[in-house]
């Protein structure tokens, strides 16, 4: 079942009002609430005095309204008594300032004492609610975000490095510390910073932050797991609009049953392709469906301008996330606290407890989900195309972007956009996966690696085996420049893949303005029409060819410049597959052509020009479900390839064409499954 719900904070309201809240939720077809994640001072008003009865009553009342509960452990907001009694649990910002009580997240994620105090409250909650059939899951903390730069955490970082490198000689070698006389003669000399440090140190600091959040989380999982029902899942809600690179999302979600994230628009309106990409990105963390644990009920309070989404846009956003694999959508929040930092944030009911205008749109979504419940049960997107993404590469580039214009989210988006269209036209999705994980690459026909900056020998071997067995691999700019220590590979890019590719990067350039790409004089592949193909921008690598087996698909046209006449895009058949290297960022149309060229097995788009229409397909044991969303401002008619039934329409007759108004949604099933 795809669930619908909200973050509900009963501790902020008189108990006499709870039933009214829950009745309104039930009327809107909501069936889940998340509770408790900031309620520590109510759950444990003073040290060791636990008051959980109110939460028990709230959960029981929710059950009466057929509303299941996810409990958030309250560890993102320690109470004042804790901070006062245990100041050693406080974190330090990168600028050396100790944090203090009054906001949230003042704790030090590495503090053993803080973890112990968390374990105590979590154990109380797990003992009390771990066997409660109306509790379906647990969320640990909230949007892990602020690391600590205090002296004790620095000592842990030094120990982390010691465990990794074993000897200072080894660390000095991998970080090339002879440079600028950085050589360390004692572990305690090693600083802990997050800017302008040795790139080897910066990468290891990210690994340390990931490991520390992972052990923070593990400490709570270890308390929860033995005390809770096997049917209760454990997750955490990931913030930073999904894209944050504070730590490695693949590693953190590896220990969870379910990935969940907080999908906010902020200022402006839904950026359809970007939000599609972010949802696919989240699905890739565990390579399975996920939850949208928070989204905005029309507006937020933290953007420069907190405009409202258009009527219908909130519902369209929800359906988009479902189309990309969300199995639950929860709004933040049900009702704003009367005081506190977020008084202006969007909510579903007002301070009087009565519906705000957005309530009816969310209720419509609730109705939609009831109508589609059986069809969507057990379904999820399928992909034959994957984009390769990993945090080491992300970090390595962001530490030293070389040009401010190399925005990795935008680079990923540029590749994602045509790939998503190609995939969607085939009823498929695009996966965004970490190639260093245990994923079986053979399940994909096409792998595209826009900025795979760090390629270890091991990863190179895995990618090459994929190609030899028949896969197509397109490496994008900046691939294979670094090893796993963030050192430059002594071979030219793409480093350990250069030999097999039979081409390498002669030099890379940050572009001040776009450069033209054209067909080579003797094109070995009929790219498009002869002559100018299009433009490329931001980054350009001049490729040199080492093997006659190499095909040159595009060259730079840069009269008087370093790049003139040099290959920009090359490819080569290896074994049963193909490897290609694209050394620049072509304009969207040309990139689409290049990608189509490299994957001739994919047919053309079904609805050329109808960009406003998004089509997502989920597959399950009893067939497929197609979700069509009109994100545009005009009504659009869409011809269907076969008769389908629209589950959201009162008309049960199968149709061969649907018309969607702006923000309209149709959920279609093929006639035969009915
Ligand atoms: C984050 C937090 C919530 C709330 C929202 C507001 O997602 O997890 O507690 O502050 O932002 O948008």
Q: From edge to edge, which strands make up the β-sheet containing 655-660?
A: 613-620, 623-630, 665-670, 636-646, 655-660
Would you call 463 helix, strand, or coil by DSSP?
A: helix
Q: Is 198 in the pocket of ligand 1 (CB under 6 A)?
A: no
Q: One fold for both 3-161+210-373 and 610-670?
A: no
In the prediction, which pLDDT does 530 show? 63
What is the mean predicted confidence (pLDDT) over 625-641?
94
In the prediction, which pLDDT does 342 show? 96
What is the mean predicted confidence (pLDDT) over 408-412?
97
Q: Whose CA is nearest to atom 10 of ligand 1?
A: 342
**pLDDT score of 609 more than 60:** no
- For residues 63 and 326, what is the distance between their CA atoms, to the nearest angstrom? 23
| % of the chain at pLDDT higher than 90 | 90
**pLDDT score of 610 more than 80:** no
The residue extents of the domains of the chain are 3-161+210-373, 383-596, 610-670
The atom of ligand 1 lying closest to the CA of 302 is 12
Residues 6+ apart with CB under 8 A from 234: 137, 138, 140, 221, 224, 225, 228, 256, 257, 258
Cα distances from 548 to residues 479, 552, 569, 577, 583, in angstroms, run 22, 10, 15, 17, 19
What is the mean predicted confidence (pLDDT) over 5-14?
98
CATH topology of domain 610-670: Immunoglobulin-like (2.60.40)
Q: Whose CA is nearest to atom 5 of ligand 1?
A: 332
What is the mean predicted confidence (pLDDT) over 385-401?
97
Would you call 666 helix, strand, or coil by DSSP?
A: strand
- For residues 248 and 285, what is the distance between their CA atoms, to the nearest angstrom? 10
What is the mean predicted confidence (pLDDT) over 145-156?
97
pLDDT, one tens digit per residue, over 35-71 is 999 999 999 999 999 999 999 999 999 999 999 999 9
In the prediction, which pLDDT does 608 show? 41
In the prediction, which pLDDT does 522 show? 55
In the prediction, which pLDDT does 523 show? 53
Q: Is 143 in the pocket of ligand 1 (CB under 6 A)?
A: yes
pLDDT, one tens digit per residue, over 295-349 is 999 999 999 999 999 999 999 999 999 999 999 999 999 999 999 999 999 999 9
What is the mean predicted confidence (pLDDT) over 593-597?
84
Q: Is 263 in the pocket of ligand 1 (CB under 6 A)?
A: no
**pLDDT score of 601 more than 90:** no
Q: How many CA atoms lie within 13 A of 597 on its CB side?
A: 23
Among 30-39, 190-199, 415-424, top mean pLDDT goes to: 30-39
Q: Is 312 in the pocket of ligand 1 (CB under 6 A)?
A: no
The atom of ligand 1 lying closest to the CA of 38 is 9
What is the mean predicted confidence (pLDDT) over 401-428?
94
| % of the chain at pLDDT higher than 70 | 96
CATH topology of domain 383-596: Rossmann fold (3.40.50)
What is the mean predicted confidence (pLDDT) over 392-404?
98
| Backbone φ, ψ for residue 311 (5° rounding) | -55, 135
Q: Whose CA is nearest to atom 4 of ligand 1?
A: 332
- For residues 628 and 647, what is the distance between their CA atoms, to the nearest angstrom? 12
pLDDT, one tens digit per residue, over 213-229 is 999 999 999 999 999 99
Residue 515 or residue 244, greater confidence? 515
Indicate the Cα dihedral angle 370, 371, 375, 378, nearest 10°: -10
In the prediction, which pLDDT does 597 show? 76
- For residues 318 and 293, what is the distance between their CA atoms, to the nearest angstrom? 12
Q: Is 332 in the pocket of ligand 1 (CB under 6 A)?
A: yes
**For the domain 3-161+210-373, what is the CATH code?**
3.20.20.80
What is the mean predicted confidence (pLDDT) over 386-415?
97
Pocket-testing residue among 75, 263, 294, ligand 1, by greatest number of atoms within 8 A of Cβ: 294
**pLDDT score of 673 more than 50:** no
DSSP per-residue letters across 540-592: EEEEEE--TT-EEEEEEE-TTSTTTT-EEEEEEEETTEEEEEE-EEE-HHHHH
Rounded distance from Cα 530 to ligand 1 centre (Å): 53
- For residues 200 and 177, what is the distance between their CA atoms, to the nearest angstrom? 9
Residue 449 or residue 194, greater confidence? 449
Which residues are identified as catalytic?
143, 294
pTM: 0.96
Would you call 211 helix, strand, or coil by DSSP?
A: helix
Rounded distance from Cα 626 to ligand 1 centre (Å): 31
Instruction: Please name which of 524, 586, 580 lies closest in space to residue 552, comparing C-alpha atoms.
Output: 524
Q: Whose CA is nearest to atom 12 of ligand 1?
A: 300
Cα distances from 492 to residues 173, 382, 507, 510, in angstroms, run 20, 36, 9, 17
Q: How confident is the model at residue 453 (pLDDT cuts 50, 70, 90)?
A: very high
Q: How confident is the model at residue 616 (pLDDT cuts 50, 70, 90)?
A: very high
Rounded distance from Cα 446 to ligand 1 centre (Å): 37
Rounded distance from Cα 262 to ligand 1 centre (Å): 8
**pLDDT score of 469 more than 70:** yes
What is the mean predicted confidence (pLDDT) over 262-278?
97
Would you call 601 helix, strand, or coil by DSSP?
A: coil
In the prediction, which pLDDT does 520 show? 84
For the chain, give the mean pLDDT: 94
**pLDDT score of 674 more than 50:** no
- Within 10 A of 131 (CB to CB), how many other CB atoms are there? 12
């Amino acid at each position: 079942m795809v669930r619908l719900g909200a973050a509900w904070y009963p501790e902020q309201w008189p108990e006499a009002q709870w039933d009214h809240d829950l009745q309104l939720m039930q009327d809107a077809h909501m069936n889940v609430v998340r509770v408790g994640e900031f309620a520590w001072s109510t759950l444990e008003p003073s040290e060791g005095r636990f008051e959980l009865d109110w939460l028990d009553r709230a959960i029981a009342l929710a059950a009466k309204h057929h509303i299941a509960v996810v409990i958030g452990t309250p560890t993102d907001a320690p109470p004042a008594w804790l901070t006062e009694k245990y100041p050693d649990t406080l974190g330090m910002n990168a600028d050396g300032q100790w944090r203090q009580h009054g906001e949230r997240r003042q704790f030090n994620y590495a503090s053993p004492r803080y973890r112990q105090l968390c374990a105590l409250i979590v154990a109380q909650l797990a003992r009390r609610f771990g066997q409660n059939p109306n509790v379906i899951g647990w969320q640990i903390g909230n949007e892990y975000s602020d690391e600590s730069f205090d002296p004790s955490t620095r000592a842990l970082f030094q120990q982390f490095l010691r465990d990794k490198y074993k000897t200072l000689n080894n660390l000095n070698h991998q970080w090339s510390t002879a440079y600028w006389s950085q050589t360390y003669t004692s572990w305690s000399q090693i600083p802990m910073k997050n800017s302008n440090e040795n790139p080897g140190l910066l990468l290891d600091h990210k690994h340390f932050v990931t490991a520390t959040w992972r052990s923070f989380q593990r400490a709570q999982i270890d308390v929860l797991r033995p005390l809770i029902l096997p049917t209760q899942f454990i997750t955490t809600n990931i913030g930073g609009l999904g894209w944050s690179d504070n730590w490695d999302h693949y590693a953190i979600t590896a220990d969870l049953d379910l990935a969940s994230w907080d999908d906010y628009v902020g200022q402006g309106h839904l950026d359809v392709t970007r939000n599609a990409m972010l949802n696919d990105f989240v699905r890739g963390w565990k390579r399975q469906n996920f939850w949208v644990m928070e989204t905005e009920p029309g507006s937020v309070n933290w953007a420069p301008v907190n405009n409202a989404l258009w009527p219908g846009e909130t519902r369209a956003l929800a359906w988009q996330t479902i189309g990309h694999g969300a199995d639950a959508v929860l709004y933040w929040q049900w009702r704003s606290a009367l005081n506190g930092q977020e008084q202006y944030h969007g909510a579903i009911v007002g301070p009087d407890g009565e519906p705000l205008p957005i309530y009816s749109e969310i209720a419509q979504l609730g109705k939609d989900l009831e109508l589609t419940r059986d069809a969507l049960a057990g379904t999820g997107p399928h992909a034959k195309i994957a984009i390769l993404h990993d945090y080491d590469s992300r970090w390595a580039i962001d530490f030293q972007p070389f040009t401010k214009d190399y925005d990795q989210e935008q680079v990923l988006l540029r590749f994602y956009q045509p790939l998503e269209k190609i995939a969607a036209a085939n009823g498929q999705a695009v996966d965004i996966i970490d190639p260093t994980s245990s994923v079986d690459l053979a399940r994909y026909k096409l792998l595209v690696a826009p900025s795979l900056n760090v390629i270890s020998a091991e990863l190179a071997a895995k990618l090459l085996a994929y190609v030899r067995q028949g896969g197509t691999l397109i490496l994008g700019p900046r691939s294979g420049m670094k090893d796993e220590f963030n050192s430059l590979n002594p071979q030219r890019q793409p480093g350990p893949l250069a030999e097999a590719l039979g081409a390498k990067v002669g030099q890379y350039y940050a572009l001040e303005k776009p450069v033209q790409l054209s067909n080579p004089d003797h094109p070995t592949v009929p790219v498009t029409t002869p002559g100018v193909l299009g433009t490329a921008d931001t980054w350009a690598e001049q490729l040199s060819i080492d093997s006659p087996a190499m095909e040159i698909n595009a060259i730079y046209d840069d009269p008087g410049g370093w790049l003139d006449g040099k290959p920009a895009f090359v490819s080569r058949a290896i074994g049963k597959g193909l490897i290609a290297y694209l050394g620049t960022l072509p304009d969207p149309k040309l990139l689409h052509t290049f990608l189509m060229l490299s994957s001739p097995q994919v047919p053309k788009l079904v609805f050329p020009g109808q960009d406003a229409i998004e089509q997502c397909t989920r597959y399950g044991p009893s067939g497929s479900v197609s979700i069509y969303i009109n994100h545009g401002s005009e009504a659009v008619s869409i011809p269907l390839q076969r008769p389908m039934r629209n589950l959201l329409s009162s008309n049960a007759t199968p149709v061969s064409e649907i018309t969607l108004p702006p923000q309209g949604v149709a959920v279609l099933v093929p006639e035969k499954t009915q």
